[in-house]
Each structure stands twice: as structure tokens, then as C-alpha cells.
Amino acid sequence: MTSDLWHGSPVTEQSLVAGVDTSTQSVKVVVREADTGAWVREGRASHPDGTEVAPEEWWTAFGEACSGGLLDGVSAISIAGQQHGMVALDESGDVVRPALLWNDTRSAPDASDLVTELGGPAMWADAVGSVPVAAFTVSKVRWMARSEPDNAERTSTIMLPHDYLTWMLADQPQEATTDRGDASGTGYWSPIEGEYRRDLMQLALGKDVQLPRVAGPDETVGEVGGRARSFLGIDGSSPIAIGPGTGDNMGAAFALEIAPGDVVVSLGTSGTAFAGSSQPTKDPTGLVAGFADASGVFLPLVCTLNAARILTSTAELLGVDMESFAALALAADPGAGGLVMLPYFDGERTPNLPDARGSLHGISRENLTPQNLARAAVEGMLGGLADAVDALVDVGVQPSRVLVVGGAASNPAVADVAATLVNVPVQIPPAGEYVADGAARQAAWILRGGEQPAWSDVRPGETVSRDPQPVAQVREQYRQAREALYA
């Protein structure tokens, strides 16, 4: 585990807030001024690789990221985290087993069983707005009940990753908390009804367990405790309020202050496409998850398992750095001469193909070039997310622009390729830690007594814009390759 010492300006007299992004690969902590959103400093540390991780590793990494007094002078903090992970605790608050992460697909048959047992996809969509797949917490709960009955019997509390760190921040109070955004990804909390469906927990685990209380979006859920202050190296005794936190996608949406018509495509370890909605959504096909957001409304979302790593893996195969990889991709024509990559390197969530693997289609002696392979990788990564935007349209979203964020968004080929796949303008905002920034904005919200801060132009850099230039051939080739899996 490695960490980078924080860097930035000294504490000012302005009120400071901190936002945390506890993601699959690392933890990022951003400190900003509460009123203006101005950046002050930040820190980060890595998480262990894998699809199951001891939750204590997240807490250790959080401490490393905050070393050197990162949180000194902070008045409020919120944590946004990777969705769906299952943290199981016993009656003493001890971790029962390593947390299963969203990208652990061993629970795929359990998701299928749960869908059947409740009466089909439409029943799940009506109950919780989403149809379970392997990623959802409820599927992992069933996997534990089936595969590790002794651990299931020991389990008395189930949390999500951000819930666990919030609980640790407050020195493990008796009542843990979560928020409606992250809770909506469990498969046993209904954004439609605004409450837990304990019958679905009973269906998955065979018993009920203690679950975190779902706090309001601008509710202060506690204060940073003495043990946590010591562990995190926080000087002084001024109280630090804790916000409810949220899921990573909800945090990014809150940072971006998305408006009706904004569709966000996030290119991290996984890929997501989501949009704000004033009404809950439910999609019996299972493509769109009917999530809640961090502000009090809703966030219909489509997720793919594979995104940025498609580009890095292909660049490594070609033996080039990412700048050279982008140049290769831009040197090829749209459609890559008929070469199509299905980027299911780690299986896939949308469509629900957990056992699938990536494949190249349409190979010929003429088109198998480094340029076309690089282009096919970018088109493959974005092709599934273009399908995701179409699925959002099918549940009532009316896109007016697509915002592309995340680590892979900075690749120069992404904007040009994305413009060939959609019919609305594409914009890539300046790079930033949007999940952590969303958590920091939530912390400012609670610090300001329920008044949302208006943070504008808080990230340096220019927005990259591309007018739509759809090339039907690219989408059609991708569709044919995808459908070949079902032939």
C-alpha cells in the first residue's frame, strides 16, 4: 500500500470541508473552502487489488491519505464510496469476512435465483426500482448464505463501504448510518417507497439483520470521534461534523450539479451512464438501475464492468504509452476498418454476461493494424456506454448533452470517438476528483445549515467540446458483434 503526502496551501480563516472518495483502487481526500469551493489541499493512498478486501484496509489507507495534518482546520467531512460492496459484521462489531466488492461476479447465479424466487424481473423493478445482478449487495448476501452458512449465521449487521468508514469516523456508534443514494444500490432498499424491504433481506439471507439508518441528504449524522481523530492525526479539539455520505456515482453527480438533460458518462474502473430525474424509475429489462441520488431526487443509471482498463490493457499490448495510444486511435478511421472489440475483459454487467470475456470481431489481414486496434478499443469501451445512453432514453431521459468524466476521459481520443456515437454535444469538463468533490460539497451543505453551496469554476482547465458527428457504421458493427454472443 502506498500513499502520497498531501500538498497545498496552509489552512486559512475560511471554513474548510473535506470530501472522501473511497474507490475500488484508492482513497482520495480533498479539502476545500466551504463557501467558495476553492481547493486547499488533498491526499491519497492505494487500496489492495482484488474483488474482496478486508474493510480494515480501507481505514488504514484513509489514515495514510490524511497523514501530515490533512484534516487540520476542517469543520465537516463526508465520504462517498464504491457502491454495492458487502461489509458483514458480527454482534461485537467485528468483521465477519472480507468485503465482497461490486466487481466480484461469483454471485451471478445467486442474483438469477433471487430474480426467479421473487417472481421475475418486473417484480424486482416494482419493489426496488432495479433488477439484481451479481454486483448488487443483495446478490452477495445470498452468495454468503449459500456458500458460507457459518459466516451468514454470525452476521448481525450489513453495511456498505462508505457506511463502514463513516461508522469508523464516529468511533463505531451503536447506530450506523447510510444515505438514500448508496442504499438504493443494495437491492433491499426501495427508492420508490423510501424504506428498506426487509422481506428481500429475509429472502436473501434467511433472516433479518441490523442495517444502517438512512439519513437525510443534508443531515449531520455525528462528529469525528476521539479515537478517529488520533488515528487520522487531527490536531485541535474543534468539532468536525460528519455528513451522511453517498455512493460514488451520486457523489460525482452532486459535484457536477447536473441539470435535466445532462447525461454523465463516467470512465473509471467501471463505466457508468446516469442522469438526474425528478421521479423514480423502474426498468424490468434490468438495463437501468433505478437509483436515488445524493440531493433528494433520483439517478437512473446503467453500469458496465469494463472501462478505463480496456484502454490501458490495449496500450500495454501495443507497447505504447497512453499519448501514443491516443495518436494511434485518432489515425484510424471511424469503424476501425471493420475491426470491433467487445470489451468484456472481466465479464459484463450490462448486458448481464458475468462469464463472458472480451473478443475481437471482423479481423482481416488488412484491418489488423495498431491504429485500428487502438481505435477499436476506444470504440468498444464507449460502444457499451452509448447503448447505456439509449437505455436511459427508454426510461424517459431526454439528453441535451453528454458529459464525460473519469480517468479515461482525459485520453485525447475519447472526445472525438464519443462524438461519433451520440446525437447530442459531448463535453469533457476539466479533470478532477468529482466523487470526492461531491462529498465535500455535501459536507459544505450540512455545515451551511441545509443551504446548498453554489460552487462554480472550482477546477482549473478548459472544457473540451465536440459537436455530434454520428457514424452509424460504428454503432451497427458493435451491435452485430454483441448479438453474435447470443447466436
Active site residues: 248
HSE-CB for 77 with a 13 A CA cutoff: 32
Using CA atoms, how far apart are residues 306 and 288, in angstroms rounded to an integer?
17
Joined together, the cell numbers standing for residue 32 give 476545500
Amino acid letter for position 18: A
Task: State the DSSP H helix or E strand holding residue 79, giving kind and residue range, or none if neither.
Answer: strand 74-81
Residue 430: exposure state from Cβ atoms within 10 A (0-12, 13-18, ≥19):
middle
Angle ∠(35,39,44) on CA atoms, nearest 5: 130
Q: Are strands 213-215 and 177-179 parallel, antiparallel or unpaired?
A: parallel
Cβ neighbours, 10 Å, residue 466:
19
Q: 411-428 in b/e burial notation, b at 16+ Cβ within 10 A?
A: bebbbbbbbbbbebebbb
The label of the residue with cell 433488477 reads: 131
Amino acid letter for position 477: Q
Angle ∠(257,263,269) on CA atoms, nearest 5: 95
Phi-psi group of 9: left, alpha or beta (phi > 0 → left; psi -120 to 50 → alpha; rest → beta): beta
SS3 content of the chain, % helix, strand, coil (to 5): 35, 25, 40
Task: Single out the residue of 96, 99, 28 nearest to residue 251, CA to CA.
Answer: 28
Task: Single out the residue of 222, 215, 209 nearest to residue 168, CA to CA.
Answer: 222
Q: Is 265 helix (H, G, I), strand (E, B) or coil?
A: strand
